[in-house]
């Protein structure tokens, strides 16, 4: 696993204020994010390095520090949530505003790794 993937998995799974886990714990599920195969969904917004694909920060736009916004592009992950059993996530879709082919490839590899090793099976 390359260093970008390692950093992405870390910020997705750690319990810091900048992490995906922290952000999703405060998001409402279902609602505008809808459902996928009877699983409620939520959206995790993030900032990404558009050259490398390194996720720099998870958070809604109004909470992202200005210096991070200036050096990054925005993106989002749509996650299904196993709300009846494990409370684990499975990333079902993603979007980034702009990114190099390397950035897009690293993000896709990150999502695949996360789903295989941390997500629940759909």
93-117 residue pLDDT tens: 999 989 999 999 999 999 999 999 9
80, 89 in Cβ contact below 8 A?
yes
Q: How many domains are contained in the chain?
A: 1
Question: Where do runs of H (alpha helix) occur along 14-84?
Answer: 20-26, 66-70
- Supply the range of the domain harboring residue 19: 3-117
Using CA of residue 35, residue 14, residue 98, residue 75, what is the dihedral sign? positive
Instruction: Report residue 106 CA to chain centroid gap.
Output: 13
With respect to residue 37, please indicate whether it lies within any of the assigned structural domains. yes
pLDDT per position as a tens digit, 31-41: 788 999 999 99
With respect to residue 122, please indicate whether it lies within any of the assigned structural domains. no
With respect to residue 74, please indicate whether it lies within any of the assigned structural domains. yes
């Amino acid at each position: 696993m390359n260093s970008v993937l390692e950093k992405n998995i870390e910020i997705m799974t750690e319990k810091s204020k900048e992490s995906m886990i922290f952000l999703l714990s405060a998001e409402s599920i279902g609602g505008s994010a809808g459902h996928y195969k009877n699983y409620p969904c939520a959206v995790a917004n993030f900032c990404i390095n558009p050259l490398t694909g390194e996720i720099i920060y998870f958070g809604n736009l109004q909470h992202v520090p200005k210096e991070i916004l200036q050096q990054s592009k925005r993106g989002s992950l749509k996650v299904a949530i196993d709300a009846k059993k494990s409370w684990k996530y499975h990333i079902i879709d993603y979007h980034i505003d702009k990114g190099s082919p390397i950035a897009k490839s690293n993000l896709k590899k990150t999502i695949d790794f996360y789903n295989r090793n941390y997500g629940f099976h759909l």
